[in-house]
Amino acid sequence: MHNKYSVINTPVHNVDGIAKVTGRATYTFDVQLPGMLYGKILRSPHPHAKILNIDATEALKLPGVKAVVSGKDTLGIKQGIWRRYKELCDEQVLPMDKVRYIGEPVAAVAAVTEEIAEQALDLIEVEYEVLDAVYEPFDAIKKGAPEVHEGIERNLNVTRHIEWGDVDEAFDDADYIREDWFKCGGQHHMCMETRACVSSYTPEKRLTVYASTQAPYYTQGLLAGVLGMREGDIRVIAPYVGGGFGGKFELDGAMFCSAVLSMKLFRPVKIVFTREEDLIASKRRTPMFYYVRTGVKKDGTFCARESRVFTNGGAYTGMGATALYLTGFFHSFPYKWRGYRYDGYRVYTNTMPSTSMRGFGAPQAMFCSEQQIDWIAADLGLDPIEVRRKNGHTPGYEVPGQAFIGSCGLDQSLDKIEEWIKSRGKLPANRAIGISAAGFMSGGIFNWFDTPYSFSSAVVTINEDGTVELHVGCQDIGQGSNTTMAIICAETLGVKVEDVKVHSGDTDHCPADLGAWGSRQTLMAGNATKMAAAEAKRQLLEFATAKMGPNIVYDLDIKDRWVHLVSRPEKGLDYTQVVKEALRGKEGQRIMGRGFYTPHRKGMISPAYSYMVQAVEAEIDEETGKIGVVNCVTAHDCGQPINPIGLIGQLEGAASMAVGYGYLEYMPFEDGKMMNPNLVDYKVIRAPEMPECEVIEIDTFEPEGPYGAKEAGEGLTNPTAAALGNAIFHATGLQMKECPILPEAVLNAFKEKREKEQEKKNA
Amino acid sequence: MIHDFTYFRPGTAKEALSLLAEHKDDCKVICGGQSLLIVMRQGLVATDNLIDIKRLEELNYIKFDSTEGLRIGATTTHRTIEKSPLVKEKYGVLVSMENRLASIQVRNWGTIGGNLAHGDAAGDPAPVLMALNASVKVGSAQKERVIPIDDFYVDLFETALEQDEIVLEVQVPVPAPKTATCYSKFNLLSSDQGIISVGASVTLDGNACKAVRIALGNAAATVMRAKKAEEILIGKTLSDALLEEAGQAAHDECEPVADIHASEEYRRHLVKVFTKRMVKQAWEQASKA
């Protein structure tokens, strides 16, 4: 690809890389403040119980214990991130009168050491009245099931309906209709840094919070809500965050309990979740039961699809309402349906709440959709790539009533993957390649948080020596957004990446931004940064034009710290000199540009969509059911890549997470208790199991994105489990309808298949 | 959180054993701690006294003698065994086992003595050593004794070690001529312990099986011999039907329990598959020996 840019699409190492690898980076886990106390949380051993009494007398007698708090020490405000919709704000982080899942916080202790705080937990006496509990959506939705939340009929938390076209008529036109049921499991975010927070409340009635969060502004707003404070009196600092993956933009127990304790004691309180706490009492990818009915023409043209989803919502809404919508929307992706109907039901149960996780409902949607498409192709004797090509999105397409597609490289992606598959030649008998297409949003057009601030904002300030202060509200959680913003700023302003200092993760000093979720920052914060840098540059060029005095029809630009005439690049001025002189000309006022982004007229979901086709090559041991993933190759349209090495990091990270979702990671519960709350029994892909992850970039330009860029990281988790399922199908003929695809299930499926074949022979 | 304890680091084995004699009622011995620290962190093991024998250099050795066989000192790390040219030449199966024992970091610090004393039925070295007919030399302040590894494991996480004893050495005899030993485990992550594992040692006399030892890991409360499977093989020549019969015997005689990683029936099935595979592999290697 010809690179017309100076910085964009050149390999840039993370701007915070050296601080991280040398151990200088200060995570919340590392924060130590004078007089700091340590907090621990007492958690419910019951999946469902009334709290009758909490007696902390003995705990408070333990030397070193400074305070014990429970629901009655709080305002009892039910909170949630869907602030616009009161009925979806259903979680008291320290519940007043009942617990709804094992691991839910009941009380919190602050003590001079972590050890004492932990000992104190054993001394708190809680009297419970144990209630009947319910764990699975199909049980919870029955009449007469235990009520997780009083007065919520059939435990129905949220329903979502999406429909376009005349679905029934389109089905009537179909030559072939297939229906299947699928089950997709939960998955834990498994951040390297567990939930952690240090809260410090001072007599000035201000609260400073160091938090491991994906969205400092959300943390600020949510804390203000539950603590009865003004947002501006709370400062949230998140200098470095050890991963989020969709699990860290809600209010968590560490944030809330440390704040409540600190407000009681006027001392800083630190709470860090153990790995077990993180596993049993955070939130998880939403488990889903999927019914999919699809009608097609004999030649593979898609007519209609009708799907129903029942999700295990767990005890609270979390981000589950959004996941319920997005799974239904992306279940139609990336194809054109004449008629499409989706009904989603999110059901409360007495288990750990489910929420968003990388892909936001789409990996589940693709697991069901993309496998069924391959099965339909096989049923009709059609080529699965050809079927996808025939029905795929194209640039300029409108998903009726839902979305406008700008750039779309699906077709080219299919071509490239087809070439790659051909290049593999004939594979051994137990090995095959499966594919899946997918797409994803570049930030959501959702403002259920109901903030008057713009979705993203940025401020660029130029110092007298030409160095640049870039203040952004977007949050770097390891994905490299600070680097992305530095690149966009440097490109726009015409300086080098090392000239730009990025300031983020501090609500006192950075402009508000909705944070790092839904693949929104590259496009939204990127546009805000570009706008801010362009404004600062405009001020510099105004001065330079006056100084150089060219005919006013000439354009000036800055590249690599050289201010010059576009038509005669050799004619120009040194950037630093221009900055110094421009400052004098403005009576010393800083050169400063402000930028923001708020989407308008872009449909209901997102301003832009990434596209991809992924091929997974897997081998299956027929005697044991074991699956090995050999290759995971992606043809990927993310618009203009901003940083190629950052992109590879995102791609490989997504592959490890998504391959894990496909055949390894699962969360078994027994009577509401998670059975593998540790990293010995909860399996996460390790280096030897990582497949080769080649990426083929598809060259597109997204008009809505900064420099043509779209999302590149979250969406990459969408196709993998489906492509793995298809690889298994093509290698063995087995149709695996449950994710993760575990070896014992594969073996049982083999057995079933052999028995069926035997029956056929006998008949 | 780990319960507080008094930490002892004796300089000699003698000193270690006298400390152990003194504190034996409330004491754990640590020798690398790659297993122990996990259960201590989980609060499953709490002790007031911890005796660290990891740095006892006198127990850090690998020796070979053509009559006595292999001697590995208890504090020898997995990585040392893995990288030993001597072990590679004489007992290649130990190297291939060590290659897949957890991660390099764990192998760099964990020791053979610590591993065996931990008594985990899912541990990697024990089934291989059982197939190799190894013994464990143990000692207290009073005396030393040698326990055949067949008798070393008593129950779940329980060994024949008395409270005042530590593992001193692993002894592996010289294999008979025309003998080969193979080991493999079933897992989803290659550095994990086995959901089950099988070690098999086959000695041939012409084309017939003269002697065989099959050891099953994580297929019962302790590592166990699959003696019925062995009986089926003795005196026979290799065939698919024979392997099937032996595998089925191992399937029937093992005593696995279900957990979240595998049902009892799946474990039995895997024992059968891996018994067949390991016996076949060892048999074929022995015939070339």
Chain A contacts of B42, Cβ < 8 Å? 678
- Contact criterion met (CB below 8 Å) for A573 and A558: no
- Please give the helix or strand (H or E) that residue A754 lies within, else none: helix A743-762
Chain A contacts of B266, Cβ < 8 Å? 744, 747
Largest pairwise CA distance in chain A? 96
**Number of residue pairs across A and B with CB atoms under 8 Å?**
39
Does residue A126 sit within a domain? yes
Is-cis flag, bond preceding A334, omega within 30? yes
Chain B contacts of A674, Cβ < 8 Å? none
Closest to A260 in 3D by CA, of A450, A464, A475, A74: A74
Residue A496 CB partners (closer than 8 Å, separation 6+): A7, A490, A560, A561
- Contact criterion met (CB below 8 Å) for A213 and A219: yes
Residue B40 CB partners (closer than 8 Å, separation 6+): B2, B3, B46, B47
Chain B residue with minimum CA distance to A667 = B260
For B146, half-sphere exposure in the C-beta direction (CA atoms, 13 angstrom radius) is: 10
Binary contact (A626, B188; C-beta < 8 A): yes
List the single best residue of B3, B36, B41, B270 to mutate versus A (max A Cβ within 10 A): B270
pLDDT value at position B43? 85
Binary contact (B38, A118; C-beta < 8 A): no
Asked if A198 and A84 sit in the same domain, the reply is yes
Domain, as residue range, for A264? 31-131+191-244+248-280
Pick from B1, B103, B266: CB nearest A115: B1
Does residue A334 sit within a domain? no
Asked if A593 and A629 sit in the same domain, the reply is no
List the domain boundaries for chain B. 6-52, 60-172, 179-288
Binary contact (A664, B262; C-beta < 8 A): no
Chain B contacts of A686, Cβ < 8 Å? 103, 189-191
Asked if A590 and A503 sit in the same domain, the reply is yes
Please work out, in degrees rounded to the nearest 5, the angle formed at the alpha carbon of residue A216 by the alpha carbons of A212 and A220: 110
Binary contact (B1, A114; C-beta < 8 A): yes
The verdict on B42 touching A (C-beta cutoff 8 Å) is yes
The verdict on B266 touching A (C-beta cutoff 8 Å) is yes
Euclidean distance between CA atoms A422 and A416, whole angstroms: 10
- Tell me how far CA of residue A447 lies from CA of A234, A322, A454, A605, B52, in angstroms: 21, 11, 10, 11, 58
Q: What is the CA radius of gyration of chain A?
A: 27
For A622, half-sphere exposure in the C-beta direction (CA atoms, 13 angstrom radius) is: 14
Residue B156 CB partners (closer than 8 Å, separation 6+): B119, B121, B221, B222
Which residues of chain A carry a pLDDT beneath 70?
1-3
Asked if A657 and A747 sit in the same domain, the reply is yes
- State the average pLDDT for chain B: 97
Chain A residue with minimum CA distance to B266 = A744
Q: Are strands A500-503 and A468-472 parallel, antiparallel or unpaired?
A: parallel
Asked if A516 and A426 sit in the same domain, the reply is no
Please identify, among A597, A628, A649, the residue that sits at the C-terminal boundary of a domain: A597
pLDDT, average across residues B200-213? 98
Pick from A623, A689, A747: CB nearest B190: A689
Pick from A668, A678, A688: CB nearest B190: A688
- Contact criterion met (CB below 8 Å) for B121 and B156: yes
Binary contact (B1, A118; C-beta < 8 A): yes
The secondary structure of B269-280 as a DSSP string is HHHHHHHHHHHH
Chain A contacts of B186, Cβ < 8 Å? 624, 626
How many helices (H) and strands (E) chain B has is answered by 12, 14
Asked if A102 and A236 sit in the same domain, the reply is yes
Chain A contacts of B260, Cβ < 8 Å? 668, 675-676, 681
Chain B contacts of A623, Cβ < 8 Å? 273
Nearest-CA distance A624 → chain B (Å): 7
Pick from B42, B103, B263: CB nearest A744: B263
The verdict on B160 touching A (C-beta cutoff 8 Å) is no
End-to-end CA distance of chain B: 52
Chain B residue with minimum CA distance to A670 = B260
Closest to B229 in 3D by CA, of B283, B271, B285: B271
Number of domains observed in the structure of chain A: 3
Asked if A734 and A709 sit in the same domain, the reply is yes
Binary contact (B260, A747; C-beta < 8 A): no
The verdict on B262 touching A (C-beta cutoff 8 Å) is yes
> Considering only residues 167 to 196 of chain B, which have any Cβ-Cβ distance to chain A shorter than 8 Å?
186, 188-192
Digit-coded pLDDT (tens) for A188-240: 999 999 999 999 999 999 999 999 999 999 999 999 999 999 999 999 999 89
pLDDT value at position A320? 95
Chain A contacts of B103, Cβ < 8 Å? 686
The verdict on B12 touching A (C-beta cutoff 8 Å) is no
Which residues face A469 on adjacent strands?
A461, A501
pLDDT, average across residues B112-120? 97
Which residue's entry shows tokens 């705080």? A117
Digit-coded pLDDT (tens) for B176-206: 999 999 999 999 999 999 999 999 999 999 9
Digit-coded pLDDT (tens) for B18-36: 999 999 999 999 999 999 9
The secondary structure of A632-652 as a DSSP string is EEEEEE-BS-S-HHHHHHHHH
Does residue A303 sit within a domain? no
Asked if A505 and A581 sit in the same domain, the reply is yes
The verdict on B91 touching A (C-beta cutoff 8 Å) is no
Asked if A493 and A583 sit in the same domain, the reply is yes
Which residues face A348 on adjacent strands?
A314
Asked if A581 and A627 sit in the same domain, the reply is no
CATH class of B6-52: alpha beta
Q: Report whether pLDDT(B39) > 60.
A: yes
Does residue A12 sit within a domain? no
The verdict on B90 touching A (C-beta cutoff 8 Å) is no
Dihedral (Cα; A386, A391, A395, A401), 10-degree rounding: -170
For B220, half-sphere exposure in the C-beta direction (CA atoms, 13 angstrom radius) is: 19
pLDDT value at position A2? 43
Helices B264-288 and B240-253: angle between axes, nearest 10 degrees: 140
- Contact criterion met (CB below 8 Å) for A563 and A462: no
Instruction: Name the architecture of domain B179-288.
Output: 2-Layer Sandwich (3.30)
Nearest-CA distance B264 → chain A (Å): 11
User: Which residues of chain A are at the B interface, by a Cβ-Cβ cutoff of 8 Å?
Assistant: 114-115, 118, 623-624, 626, 663-664, 668, 675-676, 678, 680-681, 683, 685-686, 688-689, 743-744, 747
Does residue A252 sit within a domain? yes
Chain B contacts of A114, Cβ < 8 Å? 1
What is the CATH T-level fold of the domain B60-172, as seen in this structure? 3.30.465
Q: At A262, which CATH number?
A: 3.90.1170.50
Asked if A668 and A703 sit in the same domain, the reply is yes
Largest pairwise CA distance in chain B? 60
Asked if A92 and A113 sit in the same domain, the reply is yes
Q: At A412, which CATH number?
A: 3.30.365.10
Chain A contacts of B270, Cβ < 8 Å? 624
Chain B contacts of A115, Cβ < 8 Å? 1
Does residue A602 sit within a domain? no
Binary contact (A624, B186; C-beta < 8 A): yes
Please work out, in degrees rounded to the nearest 5, the angle formed at the alpha carbon of residue A154 by the alpha carbons of A150 and A156: 85
The verdict on B264 touching A (C-beta cutoff 8 Å) is no
B6-52 against B179-288: fold identical: no
Binary contact (B266, A744; C-beta < 8 A): yes
Does residue A170 sit within a domain? no
pLDDT value at position B176? 96
pLDDT value at position A1? 40
Chain A contacts of B269, Cβ < 8 Å? 747
* pTM beyond cutoff 0.90: yes
Chain A contacts of B275, Cβ < 8 Å? none
Dihedral (Cα; A504, A507, A513, A515), 10-degree rounding: 70
Please identify, among A597, A623, A639, the residue that sits at the C-terminal boundary of a domain: A597
Closest to A376 in 3D by CA, of A291, A289, A295, A290: A295
- Contact criterion met (CB below 8 Å) for A300 and A335: no
Residue type, position B219, single letter: A
Q: Describe the strand order of the beta sheet including A105-111 as a list of residue ranges.
A: A65-70, A105-111, A37-43, A269-272, A196-202, A206-211, A234-237
Does residue A8 sit within a domain? no
pLDDT value at position A446? 87
List the single best residue of A621, A622, A623 to mutate versus B (max B Cβ within 10 A): A623
Chain B residue with minimum CA distance to A669 = B260
Chain B contacts of A675, Cβ < 8 Å? 260
Euclidean distance between CA atoms A35 and A594, whole angstroms: 39
